[in-house]
Amino acid sequence: MTRFLQSAAAAAILLLGFAAPQTVVAETEQWVLVTGASTGIGRNLAETLADSGYHVYAGARSDEDLASLDAIDNITAVRLDVTKQDQVDAVVDLITERGTGLYGLVNNAGVGGGGKVLETPVAGQTFVYQVNVEGVYRTTKAFAPLVAEQNGRIVTTGSIAGTMSWAGGNAYSGSKHWIEAFTDALAAEMEPLGVHVSVVEPGNFQSHIRRSAVARAFAQVEAAGGEITEEMRQFQKGTVERELAYKEPDAVSEAFMHALFDDEPLRRYVVTPNEEEHVATIRTKLTELVQLNQWGRYSHSRDELVEMLDEILSGGTAETVE
C-alpha cells in the first residue's frame, strides 16, 4: 500500500474567477461537474466524458490548468477550490445562469498526506480533512439540489485505503473511510429525490497525489527554515518514478461512466490495477467481519455467516439500525 508523506499547510490562496464561458447549450444535453480535474483520475474522467459526447464543468485551481482544460471540446473549465465556499457558490451561480442544469456531480478533488500520530502536527491532519472530507461535504451540499432537478447521479472518489490502512496512513485512510459512511447516508437521503449515489474506490493508479504531498511537505520544511536534504530529494525522485510506473486510470473512468449513466448503477466500485490489490482489499474487509463477530452474546457461527452472505448475494440487503 502506498504511503503518503506528511502533508503541508493549506495551499496558496487563488483568485476567484472562471475561464471564458462557452456557448450555452440546449437544456436536454447532460452536464457533469468533475472537481479536481486538473490531473490524474479527474483529468482522465473529464476527457473520457468529453470524448463520449457529454459536457463537463471541470474544476481546477491554477490558471494554467484552467486554460488547458478549457481548450478541450465539450469541457468548460471553472475555478474551483473545494475548500473555498465563495468559489463553490460562484460555480453554482454560473451553472444556474447558463441554464445547462447539472446531471452529475463527481466529487474527485482530494489530497494525500498526514503522517504518524505521534510525529505529525495537527495542521497536517487538518489539511487532509479540509479537502477530502469538508470539501466533499461542501460541494455535495451546494450542487445536490441541481442534480436532484434532473434525477441525476452523485459519485465520489474513495479509495481502497478507505478499507485498508497502514502506519502513517490514518489521515488519508480516515478521510476515505469517512467517504464510505457518507456515501451510504447520502444514498438514503437522495433516493426519495430520484438521485443515485455511488463511490468509486481505486487502487494505485497514475496520478499526482503522492508527488503533491511530497511537494507540500518540502514547502512546510522550507517555511520553517529547514533544508531539503539530498536524501529527501531522492525520496521525491522515487515517488515520481513510482507514480509514473502505475497504470493510467482508464479503468477508473470506466467505473465512473457506469455509475453515472448505466441503468443499474452500483453502490460501490472497487477498481484495482492488479489482482493482488483486489484480493488484499477483500481480505481486509473479511478480516473486519471476523473481528466484528468475535465478541458478544450475539456472535454468529460460520454457517450463519455463510447463510447471510448467500442471502446478500441473492439480492438481499444489510439491515440498518437507526
List pLDDT tens digits, range 53-111: 999 999 999 999 999 999 999 999 999 999 999 999 999 999 999 999 999 999 999 99
**What percent of the chain shows pLDDT beyond 90?**
71
**What percent of the chain shows pLDDT beyond 70?**
79
253/299 same-domain check: no
- For residues 14-36, give the mean pLDDT: 58
Find residue 32's DSSP bridge partners: 56, 104
312 vs 217, more confident: 312
Cβ proximity of 114 and 125 under 8 Å: yes
Q: What is the pTM of this model?
A: 0.81
Classify residue 66: in a domain, yes or no: yes
Checking 148-151 for CB contacts under 8 A at 24+ apart, the result is 148/190, 148/193, 148/194, 148/195, 149/101, 149/102, 150/30, 150/101, 150/102, 150/103, 151/193, 151/194, 151/195
- What pLDDT score was predicted for residue 236? 61
Q: Could you give the number of structural domains in the chain?
A: 2
pLDDT at 218 over 50: yes
Question: Pick the catalytic residue: 172, 246, 269, 298?
Answer: 172
Task: Express each pLDDT in 232-283 by its tens digit.
Answer: 676 666 666 566 667 899 999 999 999 999 999 999 999 999 999 999 999 9
Active site residue 172: yes
243/288 same-domain check: no
305/184 same-domain check: no
C-alpha cell at 14: 487563488
289/263 same-domain check: no
38/153 same-domain check: yes
- What pLDDT score was predicted for residue 131? 96
Q: How many CA atoms lie within 13 A of 149 on its CB side?
A: 13
Q: Nearest to residue 214, comparing CAs of 114, 140, 295?
A: 114
Give me the amino acid identity at 202: P
- For residues 107-129, give the mean pLDDT: 91
pLDDT at 25 over 60: no
Q: What domain range is 306 assigned to?
A: 278-317
Cβ proximity of 88 and 80 under 8 Å: yes
